[in-house]
């Protein structure tokens, strides 16, 4: 492996709170090792176009607390083609970039793995996605912030739900995974939590909601992951409204959507992102490549990129039992 002198860093896919903290850690750790750092704007799209910016310690000052990503993010169809990846490799070599740190989710790492196999430019990934669905790390950058944002919003919704004895179906992000829904459901005291990892029996849901609403004459909150197999909060609400038994129930839907992606990262996400950004640079200098840095049981762990996106991270079924017990 050739000596690394110049590192490129980029963010790709959906933004996540804490990405800036990770960028900051990458830049300052690299500088501490006398390396040069280049920021690649707009992810793989910017890599293909040569949208690069020189970075130093000052360029990452006062970004730790910011949501979003100063390097911007984008999804690139061109990078999905061999020609696009070849153009990206040409741009990197032209700029003298010896290695890469990729901050993103499974789509980012799928692209990174193929890119490494084709062009052999060393690359290490940092898990940045609010969904927390990546194998090889207990938590991803942005998950804690998204979860707390969702809980804060559900707390506010509960105030108005209680004032009017309403039933609220609150949809949170989680395209294929219920980590946000499950954790913020417990944290907000939701009466029910519906996630992709468990089967949604609409008749059983109706029965339970009716029991809660009539017997206790109170409001109810049902947290639904957007990826629930029954179709999300809007579809479930439609099914409930078509049932005459729900005619007298004041039912509302609230989709939290992209509010969960924005905002200042929590302390937990800032620390996690800083650890992972620094670890990514150290991993490259130690000769590792085509891996993701993660934190498992409090320790830094390296996982091959192909395992990150091909192996499914399992939900904690003890937490599912807890939602049923406490709901």
Look at residue 217 in the predicted model and tell me its pLDDT.
57
Regarding whether 244 and 160 lie in a shared domain, the answer is yes
pLDDT in tens, 180-228: 999 999 999 998 899 888 877 888 888 888 887 775 557 789 999 986 6
Regarding whether 106 and 58 lie in a shared domain, the answer is yes
The better pLDDT of the pair 268, 243 is held by: 268
Look at residue 215 in the predicted model and tell me its pLDDT.
59
Instruction: Tell me if 272 sits within 8 A of 147, measured CB to CB.
Output: no
Regarding whether 282 and 200 lie in a shared domain, the answer is no
> Is 90 exceeded by the pLDDT of residue 62?
yes
CA dist., res. 140 & res. 132, Å (int)? 5
With respect to residue 315, please indicate whether it lies within any of the assigned structural domains.
no
With respect to residue 99, please indicate whether it lies within any of the assigned structural domains.
yes
Mean local confidence (pLDDT), 163-185:
90
With respect to residue 171, please indicate whether it lies within any of the assigned structural domains.
yes
Active site residues: 131
Distances (CA, A) of 90 to 79, 115, 116, 188: 13, 12, 13, 50
Domain hosting residue 19, numbered range: 6-142+265-310
Q: CB under 8 Å to 103, separation ≥6 — which residues?
A: 9, 10, 11, 12, 19, 22, 23, 69, 125, 126, 128, 141, 277
pLDDT in tens, 40-56: 999 999 999 999 999 99
Q: CB under 8 Å to 76, separation ≥6 — which residues?
A: 43, 44, 45, 48, 84
With respect to residue 21, please indicate whether it lies within any of the assigned structural domains.
yes
Mean local confidence (pLDDT), 282-301:
97
Regarding whether 159 and 42 lie in a shared domain, the answer is no
Candidate from 74-88, 143-157, 242-256, 261-275 with smallest mean pLDDT: 242-256
Please state the domain count of the chain.
2
> Is 60 exceeded by the pLDDT of residue 270?
yes
CATH number at residue 209: 3.40.50.460
Regarding whether 134 and 84 lie in a shared domain, the answer is yes
CATH number at residue 303: 3.40.50.450
Label the pairing between strands 251-255 and 167-172. parallel
* Three-state secondary-structure class, residue 152: helix
The percent of residues in the chain predicted with pLDDT above 90, rounded, is 71
Instruction: Tell me if 38 sits within 8 A of 54, measured CB to CB.
Output: yes
Regarding whether 85 and 179 lie in a shared domain, the answer is no
Regarding whether 11 and 138 lie in a shared domain, the answer is yes
Q: How many other CB atoms are found less than 10 A from the CB of residue 136?
A: 24
CA dist., res. 96 & res. 105, Å (int)? 26
Regarding whether 171 and 156 lie in a shared domain, the answer is yes
Look at residue 102 in the predicted model and tell me its pLDDT.
98
Closest of 23, 19, 25, 4 to residue 92, by C-alpha: 4
> What is the DSSP track for 33-101?
TT-EEEEETTHHHHHHHT-EEEE-GGGGTT-TT--S-TT-----SGGGSHHHHHHHHHHHHHTT--EEE
Helices within the chain (DSSP H only): 19-32, 43-49, 82-94, 106-119, 143-164, 179-188, 202-215, 232-241, 267-285, 305-310, 317-326
Regarding whether 196 and 138 lie in a shared domain, the answer is no
Look at residue 232 in the predicted model and tell me its pLDDT.
84
């Amino acid at each position: 492996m050739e000596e690394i002198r110049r590192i490129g860093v980029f963010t790709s896919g959906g933004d996540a709170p804490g990405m800036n903290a990770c960028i900051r850690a990458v830049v300052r750790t690299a500088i501490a090792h006398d390396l040069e750092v280049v920021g690649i704007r707009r992810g793989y799209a910017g890599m293909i176009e040569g949208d690069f910016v020189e970075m130093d310690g000052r360029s990452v000052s006062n970004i730790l607390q910011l949501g979003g990503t100063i390097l911007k993010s984008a999804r690139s169809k061109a990078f999905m083609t061999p020609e696009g990846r070849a153009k990206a490799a040409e741009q990197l070599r032209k700029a003298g970039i010896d290695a890469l740190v990729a901050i993103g989710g499974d789509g980012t790492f799928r692209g990174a793995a193929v890119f490494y196999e084709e062009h052999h430019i060393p690359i290490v990934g940092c898990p940045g996605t609010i969904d927390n669905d990546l194998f090889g790390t207990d938590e991803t950058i942005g998950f804690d912030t998204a979860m707390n944002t969702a809980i804060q919003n559900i707390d506010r919704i509960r105030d108005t739900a209680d004032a009017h004895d309403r039933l609220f179906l609150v949809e949170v992000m989680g395209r294929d995974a219920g980590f946000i829904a499950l954790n913020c459901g417990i944290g907000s005291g939701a009466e029910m939590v519906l996630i992709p990892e468990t089967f949604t029996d609409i008749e059983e849901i109706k029965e339970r909601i009716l029991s809660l609403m009539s017997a206790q004459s109170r409001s109810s909150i049902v947290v639904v992951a957007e990826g629930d197999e029954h179709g999300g909060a809007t579809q479930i609400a439609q099914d409930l409204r078509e049932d005459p038994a729900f005619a007298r129930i004041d039912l509302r839907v609230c989709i939290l959507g992209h509010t969960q992606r924005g905002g200042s990262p929590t302390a937990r996400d800032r620390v996690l992102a800083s650890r992972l950004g620094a670890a990514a640079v150290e991993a490259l200098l130690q000769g590792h490549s085509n891996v993701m840095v993660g934190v498992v049981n409090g320790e830094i762990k390296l996982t091959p990129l192909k395992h990150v996106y091909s192996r499914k991270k399992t939900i904690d079924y003890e937490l599912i039992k807890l939602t049923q017990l406490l709901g």
